Amino acid sequence: MPDLPDSPMPSSPKATPASHPEQLLSDVASLSPLPGVYRYFDAEGNVLYVGKAINLKKRVSSYFQKNHGGSRIGHMVSKIARMETTVVRSEAEALLLENNLIKTLNPKYNILFRDDKSYPYLKMTGVSAPKPGDAASAAFTRVSYYRGGVEKKHRYFGPYPSAWAVKEAILLMQKVFRLRTCDDPVFNNRTRPCLLYQIKRCSAPCVGHISAQAYAQDVANAERFLKGDAKEVMNALEARMMAHAERLEFEQAAELRNQVAALSNVLHQQSVDNVSDRDVDILAVKVQGGRACVNLAMVRGGRHLGDRPYFPVHVEDAAVFYTEDDEGLEAAGQGPRVEALVLEAFVAQHYLNVPVPPTLVTSEPVGKSLLKALSAQSGVKVSAVHQPREQRRQWLEMAQTNASLQLARLLSEEGSQQARTRALVEALDLELDNQDDLRIECFDISHTAGEATQASCVVFQNHKMQTDQYRRFSIEGITPGDDYAAMRQVLMRRYGKLAETLREAQLSGQTPAGTGRLPDLVLVDGGKGQVSMAREVFELLRLDLSLIVGVEKGEGRKVGLEELVFADGRDKVYLGKDSAALMLVAQIRDEAHRFAITGMRAKRAKVRVDGGKLEEIPGIGPKRRAKLLQRFGGVRGVALAGVEDIATVDGISRELAEEIYRILH
């Protein structure tokens, strides 16, 4: 992440030190001329900026020795109330620590890339030399989709840009190498081949249709293929096919012939044009309208797996955040491109938690110090190619096109969302100083015949859904199926403590740091009944009743016919089927409904599967239940097991095994 500028301004007077606390200025004066990382905080303790410096004293002092005027950097400097620094051994260490802190602290004036989710991998389980007593599945590797931390005992291929790319790779493993994808409990309890064997997607190792040695050969070929050795795998299969044919083993030769044909077809479809590039990331950046998009395309094993867009925040500040090395350019009136700053911020933050390939193909140049830091962190020499040729150039052009398309889509969506927000503010006559800051919280209740009742709270702010602020509430202590009581409980839990804190702050005249804010609108999925319950809660908490709006379904529960019901006595409002305001209300309401349903289903599944029938069986306590689940991998695995298999579990008699089987079936 680039540092803030030492912005030289002609004939600029020095900043008045009186505008900053004496302790802060004293800390600045006592800094050492060593490399390190600094953090600036405002009076409320919020992090303003995180930066690195080769010389901490020189770098930090520059902020307080110059008058930055009314610029964005000047606005930030005027807010600095406190500073923290960390001395490190080298610039590379400073760069890594800086970006770790940026991702952790979310400072207001840094370009920040948020990872919405981890990357998926293709996972190969199993061990090459199973020990005596291991389950049968241990000798036969399984391929599966995987997210999360890696373990040394398994092999992982990727990361892949999307779940779709992983599933395509798994399908390829089934078509060409016929590797198994079933869970171990299913594998260990099969008595006949499954459908995948019938359609030639699995070699049925579960019932002995292939030897462990032959299956291991297929696994080895699959691994070589995923690493980019496709032609070598093809040649090896052809050589084995000819050897079988010479020994008149025509059935085995035919199997290999089919495998060669399938692999040849896959290679033709994948269009592997340049196998010399095994693992490459292609990065293209586009900046427009105050927003930016970095499009990351992945090549793994010589195959182009697809791409994924990233949209950073705080890009509007990037134009004034220069590194110390850019002072000469800035003085000459040139300055670094915003695109280059955004790309460097992405590379520095993205590869902190994601394996970095040896080659990066980029639309903007990447600094040598950043590449050196990545190489030191990963243990692999990382190089960046800024002006590629041949196949790499085609990949970069494709990534640049996708970056432009994704950014255009984002700007279009944001424009329509802003129009919807404006329409809702006007329709409800809301008094707001800044429409961009409109905050809406919406509540919904979900259950199945009273079972596993869950309430959801979703948040809309800054013209989009704020998924990191969503909350689920497990509703307990009510009559099953009583939606009104559930709504009362969730509103009390959400606003009870907040209302009390705000009242105390109003009396004392001081608001404690970290205190939340009330939304500008509280949407309740329901009509008069739910609104009346919300009204009772708000009256009890002495909150403004005008905040509450119910979304009542229209005639026939048809979408577009909803009416808005108010808690403060206003008449119902029908916004119109094509109203932009109603579209926004429906979007938020549907998101609350989705979030509540997924939570309810997860809770219900946990109750039924984890607690379920096993604990209801006489004679099954926590210890025996744990042994059963460990042996068969879950309740489903126990249900698939036979009486003889269940009886092999320590502590389970033949009679108890029969009882377990009877109840589960």
pTM across the whole model:
0.61
Q: Residue 32, by phi and psi: left (phi above 0), alpha (psi -120 to 50) or beta?
A: beta
Tell me, what amino acid is at 461?
Answer: Q
Residues 28 and 74 in one domain: yes
107 vs 66, more confident: 107
% the chain with pLDDT above 70:
82
Residue 555 lies in a domain: yes
How far is it, in rounded angstroms, from Cα 526 to Cα 553? 7
Q: Which of 157-166, 451-460, 467-476 has the lowest mean pLDDT?
A: 157-166
* C-alpha of 66 from chain center: 41
End-to-end CA distance of the chain: 60
Same domain, 284 and 266: no
For 305-316, the pLDDT digits (tens) are 788 898 888 776
- Does residue 229 sit in the same domain as residue 291? no
Q: Is the pLDDT of residue 390 over 80?
A: yes
pLDDT for residue 133 is more than 60: no
What pLDDT does residue 171 have? 84
- φ and ψ at 12, to 5 degrees? -85, 125
Q: What is the mean pLDDT of the chain?
A: 80
Decide which of 658 and 615 is more confident: 658
The CA distances from residue 624 to 135, 152, 156, 641, 659, in Å, are 20, 30, 34, 16, 14
Cα 626 from Cα 615, distance rounded (Å): 10
Tokens 């610039």 belong to: 91
Answer yes or no: is pLDDT of 604 > 70: no
User: Quick one: pLDDT at residue 322?
Assistant: 46
pLDDT, tens only, 457-492: 999 998 889 988 999 998 888 888 888 999 999 999
Tell me the CATH number at 93. Answer: 3.40.1440.10
**Dist CA 602 CA 598 (whole Å):** 6
CA 426/CA 424 separation, integer angstroms: 5
Strands (E), 352-400: 359-362, 383-385
- Contacts of 419 by beta carbon, 8 Å cutoff, 6+ apart: 580
Residue 265 and residue 288 share a domain: no
Taking 80 as the threshold, does the pLDDT of residue 26 lie above it?
yes
pLDDT at position 262 is 65
Whether residues 456 and 569 fall in one domain: yes
pLDDT reading at 223 higher than 90:
no
- Are residues 177 and 101 both part of a single domain? no
Domain CATH code at residue 645: 1.10.150.20
CATH of the domain at 297: 3.30.420
Per the model's pLDDT, the better-predicted residue between 433 and 610 turns out to be 433
Domain boundary at 205, 235, 270, which? 270
Contact 474, 603 (CB under 8 A): yes
**pLDDT at residue 336, rounded to an integer:** 57
Q: Give the pLDDT of residue 299.
A: 85
Position 82 in a domain: yes
Q: Are residues 224 and 196 in the same domain?
A: yes
Quick one: tokens of 140? 């036969």
What's the domain range around 537?
A: 435-507+518-597
For residues 620 and 67, the model is more confident at: 620
Residues 477 and 570 both lie in one domain: yes
Confidence of residue 369 (pLDDT cuts 50, 70, 90): confident
Asked if residue 606 belongs to a domain, the reply is no
| Ranges 10-19, 286-295, 606-615: which has the least confidence | 10-19
Q: What are phi and psi of 500, to 5 degrees?
A: -65, -45
158 exposure class (CB count in 10 Å sphere: 0-12, 13-18, 19+): buried
Same domain for 180 and 31: no
Residue 195 in domain: yes
Report if residue 299 sits inside a domain: yes
What span, in angstroms and rounded, lies between the C-alpha atoms of 300 and 547?
A: 52
Could you read off the pLDDT of 313-352 as tens digits, one per residue?
Answer: 877 655 555 443 343 333 333 445 788 888 988 998 888 7
- Number of structural domains (the chain) is 5
Clarify whether residues 399 and 544 are in a common domain.
no
Tens digit of each residue's pLDDT (9 = 90 or more) over 166-193:
888 888 888 788 889 988 888 888 888 8
Report the share of the chain in percent with pLDDT over 90: 13
Count other C-beta atoms under 10 Å from residue 161's C-beta: 21
Q: Which residues lie across from 362 on neighbouring strands?
A: 283
Is 422 contained in some domain? no
DSSP output for 413-429? HHHHHHHHHHHHHHHHT
Is the residue at 423 inside a domain? no
Same domain? 42 vs 132: no
How do residues 488-523 score in pLDDT, each as one tens digit?
999 999 999 888 888 887 777 776 666 678 899 999
Residues 447 and 592 in one domain: yes
503: domain CATH number is 3.30.420.340
The answer as to whether 1 is a domain residue is: no
Write down the pLDDT at residue 282: 93
Cα 345 to Cα 6: distance, rounded to the nearest angstrom: 19
Q: Which is more confidently placed, 402 or 661?
A: 402
